[in-house]
Amino acid sequence: MTGTKVALITGAAKRLGRGIAEHLHQSGWQLALGFSQSKTAADAIAHNLNQARPKSVRLFQADLAQQSDVAQLIEDITAEYDQLDLIVNNAAVFPSTPFGNTSPEQWDEIFSVNLKAPFMICQGLAPIMAPYSSIINICDVFGEKPLAGFSAYSASKAGLMMLTKGLAVELAPRIRVNGIAPGALLEPAGSEDAGLLTELITRTPLHRLGGSDCLDSIVAFLVDNQYITGQVIPIDGGLLTT
């Protein structure tokens, strides 16, 4: 497929990924939307966006914890599109991993989805990235400000921040690579995280959730500005470490 700019967004069926997809679609992008388990939600967003602009969205299912699925995703994207203009590595897992009770399997899943998959996707799809295209990694403020009980997750996001900086050097000047480190933007998906949300808002000087719009606008900014690479932009309301 050629013509309109094409973006791949992983973890696009719900929450922040969905918001990024809707924002880019409104700006005229063709979308390749990756998802894992959330097929109903993925079908719904694809249906809605394709109704607004026919044949503008394709869905690609992949469990990013499985390298075979990552390899298949790369193969499918390469077969479907002649060229990509943007990759947004948004998919992530966020399980609680209390120290002393974290299993090797939990560690492997977190790092496979949050760090290994973005690297492999970038490596596999870089050959079809357009000149002066862009990669945006959705990092996390907890990659710099660790969260108790989530050390494995925090470490994976710290790795994604460094990967962002490393790939910016590896892929320059043809591809720019940047990251965004959100804080408390949306309410947690599970009610069991209500206490965590209260704690984060208390530690945030702006004392409120940021909402998905502030992330969408930074994605658009990083796509448009052709002289920014290797940067990770925090949008965390000034979140304090303690």
CA 29 to chain centre: 17
Active site residue: 153, 176, 203, 216, which one?
153
81 as an active site residue: the answer is no
Q: At 107, is the secondary structure helix, strand, or coil?
A: helix
Angle between helices 67-80 and 117-125 (to 10 degrees): 30
- Check if 153 is active-site: yes
Instruction: Classify residue 179 by burial, with Cβ atoms within 10 Å: 0-12, 13-18, 19+.
Output: buried
The values of phi and psi at residue 35, to 5°, are -150, 165
CA-nearest of 132, 142, 113, 161 to 222 is 132
Q: Using CA of residue 57, residue 11, residue 228, residue 234, what is the dihedral sign? A: positive
Is residue 18 among the annotated active site residues? no
Query: CA dist 231 to 20, 104, 165, 221, Å?
Result: 19, 31, 7, 12
Find the catalytic residue in 140, 176, 203, 216.
140
Which residues belong to the active site?
15, 140, 153
